[in-house]
Amino acid sequence: MSRAADHAYAEIRSLILSGDAPPGAPLTEEQMADLCGVSRTPVRDALRRLEVELYVVRSDSQRLFVADWSREDVDEMFTLRGMLEAHAAARAARRFDAIALDALRDCNAAIERAVGEATPDIAGFLDANRIFHRIIVETAQSPRLAATLATLVEQPVVRRTALHYGREQLAQSAQEHRELITAFEAHDADWAHGVMSAHIRRAFHAFASHVATRASAV
């Protein structure tokens, strides 16, 4: 891809990940070209890439929309993410040093501060949560694993889930992070694998519960 197409890809992907372009929102080349400050050709290339990565879907009439996934789609995303992140946690458990562990503790402290606000700071929670999981993947030292995880379309789902978390669910996430840190301190790969697998699966059920509640209210 050209530099302009890379720029358009990053801008449109960020728009989707942030939730500013919500599921089902139409995406036109003209709008995206104006937003990104490039011509329609690199935008077209960027949208093709986003379509391949399942951020964007194309209708029978060839119109493009931000993807909105079915429960089965989301189940598969979380299942794959759980398998990969559990493997990353197991690898990382054998490699964590004092510096990386301190970074992980600092990150979870930021999560706990966000949860402890009078009104939980969801944006702060999401930012720190993303960094927490990134540290684990980086510590796993597997470029292939990192590249594969990067292709999973989970961040918009994570955001939509967290926006409907209550304080108890946010605190539960922080508690699971604390147990992960304890497993890493012990350099216990099996323990870390199990905690991460359960952590991701619980997140799926939180999302599925929210979707079911929303559907019953319609």
Say if residue 116 is in the same domain as residue 30. Answer: no
From the CA atom positions of the chain, what is the Rg in Å?
Answer: 18
Tell me, what's the pLDDT at 107?
96
What b/e readout covers 193-211, taking b as 16+ CB neighbours within 10 angstroms?
A: bbbbbebbebbbebbeeeb
Say if residue 48 is in the same domain as residue 90. Answer: no
Identify whether the C-beta of residue 16 lies closer than 8 Å to the C-beta of residue 55.
yes
Say if residue 78 is in the same domain as residue 56. Answer: no
Say if residue 48 is in the same domain as residue 75. Answer: no
Which residues are registered as beta bridge partners of 66? 56
Tell me, what's the pLDDT at 192?
98
* Tens digit of each residue's pLDDT, the chain (218 residues): 578 899 999 899 888 877 788 888 999 999 999 999 999 999 999 999 888 877 888 888 999 999 877 778 778 888 999 999 999 999 999 999 999 999 999 999 999 999 999 999 988 998 899 899 999 999 999 999 998 888 775 566 666 666 667 788 889 999 999 999 999 999 999 999 999 999 999 888 877 776 555 544 44
Say if residue 98 is in the same domain as residue 34. Answer: no
CA distance 43 to 23: 19
**Residue 94 DSSP label:** T
Tell me, what's the pLDDT at 157?
62
Say if residue 188 is in the same domain as residue 85. Answer: yes
Q: Which residue has the tokens 């197991």?
A: 90
Q: What is the pTM of this model?
A: 0.75
Sign of CA dihedral 98, 104, 105, 110: positive
Say if residue 110 is in the same domain as residue 196. Answer: yes
The CATH number of whichever domain residue 105 belongs to comes to 1.20.120.530
User: Going by C-beta distance under 8 Å and a sequence separation of 6 or more, which residues neighbour residue 118?
Assistant: none
Say if residue 82 is in the same domain as residue 9. Answer: no
Domain that holds residue 174: 71-217
CA distance 183 to 202: 18
Burial class (CB in 10 A: 0-12, 13-18, 19+), 83: middle
Say if residue 8 is in the same domain as residue 115. Answer: no
Task: Give the number of domains in the chain.
Answer: 2
Say if residue 62 is in the same domain as residue 87. Answer: no
CA distance 203 to 86: 14
Tell me, what's the pLDDT at 134?
94
Say if residue 122 is in the same domain as residue 194. Answer: yes
Beta-carbon count within 10 A of 159 CB: 17
